[in-house]
Amino acid sequence: MARENGESGKGTWKKQVDDIKKIFELKEILGTGAFSEVVLAQERSTGKMFAVKCIPKKALKGKESSIENEITVLRKIKHENIVALEDIYESSNHLYLIMQLVSGGELFDRIVEKGFYTEKDASTLIRQVLDAVDYLHKLGIVHRDLKPENLLYFNPQDESKIMISDFGLSKMEGSGDVMSTACGTPGYVAPEVLAQKPYSKAVDCWSIGVIAYILLCGYPPFYDENDSKLFEQILKADYEFDAPYWDDISDSAKDFIGSLMEKDPAKRFTCDQALRHPWIAGDTALCKNIHESVSRQIRKNFAKSKWRQAFNATAVVRHMRRLQLSSSMGQSMDSSHPHPPNSRAAQMQNQRNQSQNPNAAIMKSFSVDSPHKDCKWTCMHPHTHKP
């Protein structure tokens, strides 16, 4: 039988339980993280399904602040486009985070399996992300790790809403409204973070711009095999709208991306401003089918599931609805669109051609020198999957 923790201060929101299996029927293991395990679970009293993040207390030693931060953030959030923390239980040996279960699959999977995909579809998706992040910012919460793999569909229906997950690196803004810890995923992180300058909620807006870019062409705006050169590109906001991939994309879409991927955070659009941009609020997003080009690039640049090493409780659907993508899909199309010789896309293609293993996606993790030792950067370097 669960009982509320009666202690004052921290921990009052935890429900004490002798055995979690008395409340939930624990089913298959959906994934493991650095110090947690994700389990599909059914609540015995209601039959409802949840994702349970099981965290051994012994694994929390030295990491208490990290999990406390995630819980503090999640407990404040109630939004239709954000995966919810439903409950928290504590036993003598474990902490259990009961998460909302989403079943619609991952963002890239949905785009690839579609037969028809337009700018308008991308605009609708980005509007939901902006609305959710605007809500977070008004609560004083900065996500700090927005990226496509943290965007999941609520259910398998075609018109399913998108859900933001993974708040492990989120942070409540302090009175000064600036932070300095180097956190995030390099390909999506704002220049001021890489420069180790104080930053604010504007870093999330940059990341949304990067996501929008990828949604319209299928490849990332910044890429280099060499980390230093990759960082240099980001620090300079050195990106291109390469032909032919961007030839059929509207000027409004490019203007929208440029407003978010603005090097100067003071000039960068806020979520509120972005929500009022014609590409989001108006009718400038085109309805031309761009599925063939975008899905082909996604398959090359974001090889499914090969670059993930850990799962978050809010992303359990990654095991529930895994799609089998043929490794040969798109290979016959590699040369269908020759690249301009000096374009970023051409550079990525050349490096792809030089790779010894043209079918491998390589995961590379590294820590950024920072006084905050618990901060880990994780980057998927698509060494061999490029335009």
Catalytic residues: 145
Let me know: does 387 contact 240? Beta carbons within 8 Å: no
58 among annotated binding-site residues: yes
SS (H, E, C) the chain: CCEECCCCCCCCCCEECCCHHHCEEEEEEEEECCCCEEEEEEECCCCCEEEEEEEEHHHHCCCHHHHHHHHHHHHHCCCCCECCEEEEEECCCEEEEEECCCCCCEHHHHHHHCCCCCHHHHHHHHHHHHHHHHHHHHCCEECCCCCHHHEEECCCCCCCCEEECCCCCCEECCCCCCECCCCCCHHHCCHHHHCCCCECCHHHHHHHHHHHHHHHHCCCCCCCCCHHHHHHHHHCCCCCCCCCCCCCCCHHHHHHHHHHCCCCCCCCCCHHHHHCCHHHHCCCCCCCCCHHHHHHHHHHHCCCCCCCCCCCHHHCHHHHCCCCCCCCCCHHHCCCCCCCCCCHHHHHHHHHHHCCCCCCCEEEEECCCCCCCCCCEEEEECCCCCC
Provide the annotated binding site for ATP.
58
Q: Which residues define the annotated binding site?
A: 58
